[in-house]
Chains A and B, each alone.
Chain A
Amino acid sequence: MILAIIENAFLSLIGSAIPASAVVMLAATGAMLGERVGVLNLGQEGLIGIGAVYSVIAVLSWGVESPWLAMLIGMMAAAAAGLIFALCVVAFRASQVLVGLALALGGIGLSNQLGVNRNGTPIQTLFREVNPGGVLDDNDAVSAFFFHDPVVYIAYVGLPVVLWFVLFRTRHGMNMKAVGENPAAADAVGVSVTGWRIFYSVLGAALTGAGGAYMVLSFTPTWSPDIARGRGWVALAVVIFAGWRPGWAVAGALLYGSMISLDTTAQARGWGLPFMGASDLSFFLSMLPYVVTLVAILIPAGAVKLGRRVRSTAAPAALAIPYAREER
């Protein structure tokens, strides 16, 4: 009986965590793609904004009626920003940290500027929940766990499986990892380091943009300034926590999402503690997602330091280091 209650509570917590951190999941996958080939894009926060605002523009100003098309437009806008980033850091070898922060700032500023007249306008073009045969209803926890729109399934199941397969079961993935670990070695066997890095930076940016699009097309669903609210940074942290493994990103994203849904649940139900009123508890809980994420980053490093060396969770060796074939 008690077990059932706990199970129920757990399912509903995770159930609401899933959509809450789908953005993080998409952005983390996007960031991971770039980082696997050695490109650290700190601009995730800006890319989410760009993806979101262009989806909003597509729906509200261009009259796009398909959420998929609106998302694609958001992805392309983010990809364009990702291309500028990639050209700066890969082709011109500019500092990935500086240009990444520039993208974060510029993306936030640009998207806020573009969205300035669209604040709070509700979006009608939404993704529909997947509900095979109408067997699920909105009320119980089990349904809450499974009852989501298709993007959620793509983010949590489709992408990690595909990325895992590509990374660990294909020639392509082998070459990818080589570019991130030792670009000189990849170059020596004829893999174009520059080309691969640009390609995956752009693809990764598009995925992060999809995350932004998902926010406005399903989660919020409306435009508001600073839409990412730190989710881009959390995504970068999730990649570290996951040790650059797609499957573990799911766990990282859900950890963050559970903290978010804990906060929203507490607010909605007016939870309080004996020594802390409902509003104070809510303020406290709203800090938790970031604190928990911070602690999560420390875990892999701590595990290594405390003697449980896990080599496979180390960052790609050439991460954030520009590559130049020096000999020429």
Chain B
Amino acid sequence: MTGDRARPAVETRGISKAFGGVAALDTVDFEVRWSEVHALVGENGAGKTTLCNILAGIYRADAGRVVVDGAERDFRSPAHAIDAGIGMVHQHFRLVEPMTVAENIHLGWPETPGVVSQRTLNERTERFMGEMGLRVDPTAKIWQLSVGEQQRVEILRVLARGARVLILDEPTAVLTAKEAEELFAVVRELAAGGLSVIFITHKLREVLAVSDRLTVLRHGIREITRPTEGATASEIARLMTGEERVLDVEHRVVTGDPALELRGVSTLNDRGIAALRDVDLTVRSGEILGIAGVSGNGQTELAEVICALRGMEAGSITVDGADIASMSVRAVTDSGVGHIPEDRIGMGMVTSAPVKDNAVLHSYWTEQFSQGLTLNRQSVIDFARKLVEAARVQTRSVFATAGQLSGGNQQRLVARREALAADRLLVAAHPTRGLDVNAAQEVRSTILDRRDSGCAVLLISDDLDEVLLMSDRIAVIYEGRIMGVFEAAEADREHIGLLMGGHSITGAVA
């Protein structure tokens, strides 16, 4: 593995992979040199992760070759890839939550002593972290760590096994700006020490900040590989997206009665730790209030508390002047509140039930569909057909189960259903996450339509670009606190970015 430094660390030749007859990768040539940070760039669904999963032994390619340090390899499992010196840190961490950092690093590692005490594990981990220059408390349980720390454990674990090629899949998606900066420093240092790092991302700023070379994938085809030096963000963006239909959003300043009002709201998360601290927010009819922030700073709980899915510790929430504290979930929904939940599949739909049943999940009890106890099957079916058509959901019939829909179709179904249910207020949590460009545009148009017809919208997103594009006003959330609220016109990207990371609150207009 420490062979000729001149030949590539890893290369693929003509790799193809298809899912369900759709090519995810089409004869892709890809090459990573020693000691370089190589950014792998592309939209959602461009094939970045698929390519790296093949390198990491998780998928097997339909065609093509993988060459590691001059030798052709055929990985049958992640273990084979690890043996060849390739380690991957997945977007969704593979850590055992109730175990300690030290245990997780030593898991499944042949070099771990057979009989071992916590103390030995901790000492070994300490020593190892010293060598690598990365630090986490070895005795902490994984569930006690921040996301950034968990990521560090993953990286340590891969490095511990002697990985010479490190693959990071969208590593900054869950990090604060400060944590991301720290990660960049670590990545640069590892590369300087002789490792190769493949850095998957779709954020152009990161590409320019961290990489030596970059490769752009689009629809499973390699568009270009070039040195990062001299590349511009707009050039990369064009290669990534091709021709993009740009949404033209007109921002408004709305005065008038608040549709939603939060006063001093505090609540706990599932672990019983404060998730929202003394939050004041107002959303008026006909405006979009965007919540900017890094995931995990209380956004999930904010959406749930407004929709009465989570109890409050303190404060009050009113929708159209009515206090929801004493209302059931159903009563809140009946008062005209729609909710596109963050976890659309896990919370917003029943994959084992037919599409028609999912179509009325948030309205089946209304007069439109039921009289007393009886559910009017025909009106449910009619409604579902209309919804499917309006949301352009591709399905054989409304009797097919929702689980048979593709991810994008499932998302469109939920988004449109909730938008329809929302007369007064739409709470949209990360509504375009995981969607390709066109599907995302459709969902955004749906949300804008609701705003234009006088509905208040609370838009939660960890994609700052989306918040800036869509919102009439922007509130920044950090560790459960609102750090500041801005009119769209006066919003300054850099300033908001700092607030999202918990920095200075000077100049904030609350």
A binds B: yes
- A175 sits at the interface (CB 8 A): yes
Interface string of A18-44 (1 = CB under 8 A from B): 000000000000000000000000000
Q: Contacts A181-B98, A186-B108, A328-B59 given: A170-B114 contact, CB under 8 Å?
A: yes
Interface string of B158-190 (1 = CB under 8 A from A): 000100000000000000000000000000000
Which among B79, B82, B106, B107 has the greatest number of chain A C-beta atoms within 10 A? B107
Chain A binding surface SS class: helix
- B109 sits at the interface (CB 8 A): yes
Which among A172, A178, A309, A317 has the greatest number of chain B C-beta atoms within 10 A? A178
- B222 sits at the interface (CB 8 A): no
- Pairwise interchain contact A182-B114, C-beta atoms closer than 8 A: no
Q: How far is the CB of A127 from chain B (nearest CB, A)?
A: 31
**Distance between Cα atoms of A185 and B117 in the complex (Å):** 21
Q: Contacts A170-B114, A187-B78, A327-B53 given: A175-B107 contact, CB under 8 Å?
A: yes
Selected from B60, B77, B112, the residue in CB contact (under 8 A) with A190 is B77
**Distance between Cα atoms of A275 and B62 in the complex (Å):** 80
**Distance between Cα atoms of A175 and B108 in the complex (Å):** 6
Q: Contacts A171-B106, A178-B107, A190-B79 given: A185-B59 contact, CB under 8 Å?
A: no
Chain A residues whose CB sits within 8 angstroms of the CB of B112 once the complex forms: 171, 174
- Pairwise interchain contact B78-A185, C-beta atoms closer than 8 A: no
- Pairwise interchain contact A327-B58, C-beta atoms closer than 8 A: yes
- B224 sits at the interface (CB 8 A): no
Which among B60, B98, B114 has the greatest number of chain A C-beta atoms within 10 A? B98
Chain A residues whose CB sits within 8 angstroms of the CB of B96 once the complex forms: 177-178, 181-182, 185-186
Q: How far is the CB of A278 from chain B (nearest CB, A)?
A: 50
**Distance between Cα atoms of A189 and B60 in the complex (Å):** 18
Q: Contacts A327-B53, A328-B59 given: A170-B115 contact, CB under 8 Å?
A: yes
- B11 sits at the interface (CB 8 A): no
**Distance between Cα atoms of A189 and B82 in the complex (Å):** 8
In the complex formed, the residue of A with least CB distance to B157 is A189
**Distance between Cα atoms of A216 and B53 in the complex (Å):** 54
Interface string of B94-110 (1 = CB under 8 A from A): 11111100011011110
* Residues 238 to 277 of chain A near chain B (Cβ within 8 Å): none
**Distance between Cα atoms of A312 and B51 in the complex (Å):** 39
Interface string of A294-315 (1 = CB under 8 A from B): 0000000000000001011010
Interface string of A310-328 (1 = CB under 8 A from B): 0110100100000001011
Interface string of A66-110 (1 = CB under 8 A from B): 000000000000000000000000000000000000000000000
| Size class of the contact patch on chain B | 20 to 34
- Pairwise interchain contact B108-A191, C-beta atoms closer than 8 A: yes
Q: Contacts A170-B115, A172-B114, A190-B78 given: A181-B97 contact, CB under 8 Å?
A: yes
- Pairwise interchain contact B113-A171, C-beta atoms closer than 8 A: yes
- B116 sits at the interface (CB 8 A): yes
- Pairwise interchain contact A169-B95, C-beta atoms closer than 8 A: no
- A188 sits at the interface (CB 8 A): yes
* Residues 60 to 115 of chain B near chain A (Cβ within 8 Å): 60, 77-79, 82, 90, 94-99, 103-104, 106-109, 112-115
Chain A residues whose CB sits within 8 angstroms of the CB of B94 once the complex forms: 182, 184-185, 187-189
* Residues 133 to 161 of chain B near chain A (Cβ within 8 Å): 157, 161
Q: How far is the CB of B379 from chain A (nearest CB, A)?
A: 36
- Pairwise interchain contact A178-B97, C-beta atoms closer than 8 A: no
- Pairwise interchain contact A171-B114, C-beta atoms closer than 8 A: yes
The 5 A-B pairs of least Cβ separation, nearest first, read: A189-B108, A190-B79, A185-B94, A188-B94, A191-B108
Task: Give 14 A-B pairs besides A169-B115, A182-B95 with Cβ atoms closer than 8 angstroms.
Answer: A169-B116, A170-B116, A175-B108, A177-B99, A178-B108, A181-B97, A184-B94, A189-B78, A189-B82, A189-B94, A189-B157, A190-B79, A312-B98, A327-B59
B interface, CB within 8 angstroms of A: 53, 58-60, 77-79, 82, 90, 94-99, 103-104, 106-109, 112-117, 157, 161, 272
> Could you jot down 10 A-B contacts, CB within 8 Å?
A174-B106, A178-B108, A185-B94, A188-B78, A188-B94, A190-B78, A190-B82, A191-B108, A309-B272, A312-B98
A interface, CB within 8 angstroms of B: 169-172, 174-175, 177-178, 181-182, 184-191, 309, 311-312, 314, 317, 325, 327-328
